Structure 1
Amino acid sequence: MARQLSFDLPAKTALGREDFYVSPANAMAVAMISASSWPGNKLVLSGPAGSGKTHLAHVWAGETGGRIVQASRLRHEDVPELARTPIAVEDVPMIAGDLEQQKTLFHLHNLVLAEGNALLMTGRLAPKFWHLPLADLQSRIEGAHHVALDPPDDALLCAVLAKLFVDRQLSPRPEVISYLVKHMDRRFETAAEVVERLDRVALAEKREITRALASRVLTSDTDAAGPGD
């Protein structure tokens, strides 16, 4: 049997629309991202880590000619330029402890809408839990239409795992993914961690990613040597 080769290469994330799997867990969010316009020309997209917020933001930016910026990297002097196109601001709750960054985002919020462009904002939780001390900004964010990426169903979790493997140039057999879906903690974050651990162990042991290896990774310390298949 041909053995799978494993190389210690950085994962390259595919972020095109064709790489995003649509299921009932994310269909509403995908529909809103694809909409020609949003109420008030702004939208908040929430979901847990690894759920696809960044992927959808890139899809939206690609289709609208928009740009993407991390909330923590906003600079006041860049606001006029950023407001000239649709703009996605990622991980807004991360600036809850930085009043100056909140003031910058508030300025961008007002200017981009005044310019007639769309504003997309993302965070892990619903906007009411962002707790931004700048009350004017928090209220305007809560006033935006909100759509959430739900926890993954079986079909979506299979697709997420398959994509994570592909991003790392790995191609385990289908039974490996089926096994993981049935036995792993059903969180996007966990899926990324499990794939990373499988990649690391397979590389260290120069072996294929098999169902047996998946079982060992899920049930034991992956840094310890385990039995062979």
Structure 2
Amino acid sequence: MAQQLGFDLPVRVALGRDDFLVAPSNAVALSMVDAWRSWPNGKLALTGPSGAGKTHLAHVWAADSGARIVAADTLNTTSPDALFDAPLAVEDVDRIARNSACQTALFHIHNALQTAGHPLLMTGENAPNLWRLSLPDLQSRVDAAGHAALDAPDDSLLAAVLAKLFADRQLTPRPDVIPYLVTHMERSFAAARTVVAAIDARSLAQKKPITRALAVACLDNPR
């Protein structure tokens, strides 16, 4: 398929279950999310580096459980009562370590969900005991949750993630682009997102197809 040039197309991120790329680095976490009805104390902490798939898995779980998804740093502006009557996923809990208002809100939400028998999924980058929440009662409840960790990608998963990121942007790189990137880029999900965005921008600006030469230029000079 010829590469379409000159159109700044919207990024349509696919977050369905069939779009989740299963690999040894995430298979255990996926199985734990799937087993949500038997989570210890009805809650799970899902952790992993930026871009590892935490948000994607949260959406997979929400579709299965009927859960709402909220960002932890919005809890101080959200009516807690609106979050008590269904399963809930709270993303990036580690980012509210110094936000006492959001921590207090999450503490009350946690207790209400547990009383009502609704499960709670929490996400963050590091292991839960490293979130260092300033509200001790909340940290102790987080520590009592089950823990599922998403690990760094191997070659096959990194290649699949790159292919998905290009597809989300409706882009078709030449066949030798992704193998080159896997071999030469920083091995992280966040770096994959950054390099695909950079390649997209350069391809659009220069009105050139996505070739290995363009990928080389982006890695050598990402600006």
Shift of residue 5, structure 1, vs aligned partner: 2.5
Whole-Å Cα distance in 2 between the matches of residues 128 and 142 of structure 1? Answer: 6
Shift of residue 32, structure 1, vs aligned partner: 0.8
Alignment of 1:86-165 (within 5 A): 86-165=87-166
Q: Deviations over 1:171-215 (max 9, x none)?
A: 112321111111111011100000000000000100100111111
Residues 77 and 168 of structure 1: CA distance in aligned 2, closer, same or farther (over 3 Å) = closer
SS of the equivalent of 2:176 reads helix
Residues 3 and 146 of structure 1: CA distance in aligned 2, closer, same or farther (over 3 Å) = closer
Question: How many aligned positions are there?
Answer: 222
TM-score scaled by length of structure 1 = 0.93
Corresponding position of 1:25: 25
Q: Which runs of 5+ in 1 are unaligned?
A: 224-229
Residues 156 and 3 of structure 1: CA distance in aligned 2, closer, same or farther (over 3 Å) = closer
Q: Which runs of 5+ in 2 are unaligned?
A: none
Residues 113 and 218 of structure 1: CA distance in aligned 2, closer, same or farther (over 3 Å) = same
Whole-Å Cα distance in 1 between the matches of residues 209 and 157 of structure 2? Answer: 24
What letter corresponds to residue 120 of structure 2 in structure 1?
L
Alignment of 1:47-66 (within 5 A): 47-66=48-67
Corresponding position of 1:73: 74
Runs of 4+, deviation exceeding 2 Å? 1-6, 75-78
Q: Deviations over 1:16-52 (max 9, x none)?
A: 0111100000001110111132111100000111110
Corresponding position of 2:16: 16
Do the aligned partners of 2:159 and 2:182 also contact (CA within 8 Å) in 1? yes
Residues 7 and 76 of structure 1: CA distance in aligned 2, closer, same or farther (over 3 Å) = closer
Residues 72 and 198 of structure 1: CA distance in aligned 2, closer, same or farther (over 3 Å) = same
Q: Deviations over 1:99-150 (max 9, x none)?
A: 1111100000110011011000000110111110100000110111111100
Corresponding position of 2:174: 173
TM-score scaled by length of structure 2 = 0.95
Alignment of 1:212-223 (within 5 A): 212-219=213-220, 221-223=221-223
Shift of residue 3, structure 1, vs aligned partner: 4.6
Do the aligned partners of 2:47 and 2:123 also contact (CA within 8 Å) in 1? yes
